[in-house]
């Protein structure tokens, strides 16, 4: 079983991945995907952390959700590392993709993401799909009927409140159990956008509440718990709202199994006792690190690598 957690290359996403690589906690069958969105130093530093620690990572060579791909001269380029076999070059299937780019040198792996049925069908007809070691597709019946090769399902499990709703409406809920259906649907693995979600916004948006997100397991089901600040009336006082949210996390975490009490989750809970506000970027980083530490432990116990 393979897991490809999908990250957009924002600053704190990359810092979370860099820390995880340096901790060397991921088994070989958990392979993060990075889609670059900004020309920042953290991008090559993160790639270097993975290849230097002999861990596989995917970098998307033709990112599609920002103007990063339009910048010809990169100040912080990841490509100097592409000769390392631990770096898997990935592509998004688009009408402008050149099929020759899907071919990798001997000993190197490639990955292809196909989000649209029509483009996937055309690529199959042209004989492009055989060139990629991993093919990520939406978990749709018509795509399963189209393909005769093992694939990886890619689905966005994150929920974002709309209009007048807030995370306080659903503080605990189902997140994923994709691995339980993988064999039945001829998937060799699964991929998701973790707790960050698949939607990309260049600048983000303010929120009236501060919400901390932690994934946890209940049996074979991955769930998510949201710790929401009590004050949700306006956009002011993020520090005070953080303390309201982290107090709930600090009360909840000791009641959970040891596997849920990851180092990252414990660091978040410690901010309650310390009464320290690290900034919302650090909170996001630790939430992502927690998710990867949690999934790493689950995979080591349930899908050990030979």
- pLDDT the model gives residue 164: 66
- pLDDT the model gives residue 163: 64
- pLDDT the model gives residue 97: 87
E strands present in the chain? 2-8, 33-35, 57-60, 87-92, 110-113, 134-137, 151-155, 172-176, 187-192, 211-218, 221-228
pLDDT at 79 over 70: yes
Longest dimension (CA), the chain: 60
Q: Are the C-beta atoms of residues 231 and 241 closer than 8 Å to each other?
A: yes
Q: Which of 163-167, 200-204, 259-263 has the highest mean pLDDT?
A: 259-263
pLDDT at 70 over 80: no
Q: Are the C-beta atoms of residues 221 and 177 closer than 8 Å to each other?
A: yes
pLDDT at 68 over 90: no
Q: Which distant-in-sequence residues (6+ apart) come within 8 Å of 172 by Cβ? A: 223, 224, 225, 226
Q: Using CA atoms, how far apart are residues 259 and 134, in angstroms rounded to an integer? A: 30
List, for residues 263-280, the tens digit of each pLDDT value: 999 999 999 999 999 999
- pLDDT the model gives residue 86: 96
List, for residues 220-273, the tens digit of each pLDDT value: 999 999 999 999 888 899 999 999 999 999 999 999 999 999 999 999 999 999
């Amino acid at each position: 079983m393979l897991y490809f957690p999908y990250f957009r290359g924002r600053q704190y996403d990359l810092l979370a991945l860099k820390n995880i690589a340096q901790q060397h906690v991921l088994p070989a069958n958990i392979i993060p995907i990075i889609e670059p969105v900004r020309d920042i130093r953290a991008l090559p530093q993160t790639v270097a952390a993975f290849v230097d620690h002999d861990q596989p990572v995917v970098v998307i060579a033709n990112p599609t959700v920002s103007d990063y791909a339009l910048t010809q001269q990169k100040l912080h380029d990841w490509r100097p590392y592409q000769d390392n076999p631990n770096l898997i070059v990935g592509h998004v299937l688009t009408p402008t993709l050149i099929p020759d780019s899907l071919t990798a040198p001997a000993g190197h792996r490639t990955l292809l993401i196909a989000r649209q049925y029509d483009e996937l069908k055309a690529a199959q007809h042209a004989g492009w799909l055989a060139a990629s070691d991993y093919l990520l597709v939406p978990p749709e019946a018509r795509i399963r009927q189209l393909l005769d090769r093992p694939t990886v399902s890619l689905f966005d499990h994150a929920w974002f409140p709309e209009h007048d709703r807030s995370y306080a409406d659903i503080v605990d809920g189902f997140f994923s159990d994709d691995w339980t259906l993988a064999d039945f649907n001829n998937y060799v693995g699964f991929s998701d956008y973790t707790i960050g979600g698949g939607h990309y916004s260049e600048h983000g948006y303010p929120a009236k509440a501060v919400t901390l997100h932690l994934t946890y397991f209940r049996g074979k089901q991955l769930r998510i718990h949201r710790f929401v600040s009590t004050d949700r009336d306006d956009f002011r006082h993020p520090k005070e709202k953080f303390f309201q949210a982290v107090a709930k996390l600090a009360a909840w975490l000791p009641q959970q199994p040891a596997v849920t009490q990851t180092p990252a989750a414990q660091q978040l809970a410690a901010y309650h006792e310390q009464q320290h506000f690290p900034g919302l970027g650090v909170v996001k980083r630790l939430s992502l690190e927690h998710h990867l530490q949690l999934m790493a432990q689950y995979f080591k116990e349930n899908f050990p690598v030979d």
